[in-house]
Amino acid sequence: MTEMVHGTVPVQTGDPVLPRWWRTIDKWTMSCVLILFGIGLLLGFAASPPLASKNGLEPFHYVIRQFAFGGMALMVMLALSMMSPVLVRRLAVIGFAASFAALALLPVFGTDFGKGAVRWYSLGFASIQPSEFLKPGFVVVAAWFMAASKELGGPPGKSWSFGMALVIVALLAMQPDFGQAALVLFAWGVMYFVAGAPMLLLLGLAGGAVAAGAVAYDQSEHFARRIDGFLTPDVDPRTQLGYATNAIREGGFFGTGVGEGTVKWSLPDAHTDFIIAVAAEEYGLVLVLVIIALYTTIVVRSLTRLMRERDPFIRLAGTGLACIVGVQAMINMGVAVRLLPAKGMTLPFVSYGGSSVIASGIAVGMLLAFTRTRPQGEIGDILLRRGRQG
Residue 3 lies in a domain: no
8-43: buried (b, 16+ CB within 10 Å) or exposed (e) per residue? Answer: eeeeeeeeeeeebbeebbbeebbebbebbbebbebb
- 111 beta partners: 120
Q: What is the pLDDT of residue 80?
A: 96
**pLDDT per residue as tens digits for the range 199-238:** 777 777 778 777 777 777 776 676 676 676 666 766 655 6
At residue 163, the pLDDT reads 93
Q: Are 324 and 190 in contact (CB under 8 A)?
A: no
pLDDT score recorded for residue 389: 54
Assess if residue 1 is contained within a domain.
no
For residue 208, is it within any domain? yes
**Distance in angstroms (rounded) separating the CA atoms of residues 129 and 70:** 16
Q: Is residue 85 part of a domain?
A: yes
pLDDT at residue 12 in the model = 52
Output the pLDDT for position 349: 92
The domain total for the chain is 1
pLDDT at 235: 64
Asked if 30 and 368 touch (Cβ cutoff 8 Å), the reply is yes
Q: Are 351 and 332 in contact (CB under 8 A)?
A: yes
Q: Is residue 256 part of a domain?
A: yes
For 118-133, b/e burial (b = at least 16 CB within 10 A) is: bbbbeeeeebbbbbbb
Q: Is residue 21 part of a domain?
A: yes
Query: Is 174 within the bounds of a domain?
Result: yes
Q: Which residues of the chain have pLDDT under 70?
A: 1-15, 114, 116, 219-220, 222-223, 225-226, 228-231, 233-239, 269-270, 375-390
- pLDDT at position 355: 87
pTM: 0.86
Residue 66 forms part of a structural domain = yes
Range of the domain at 313: 17-384
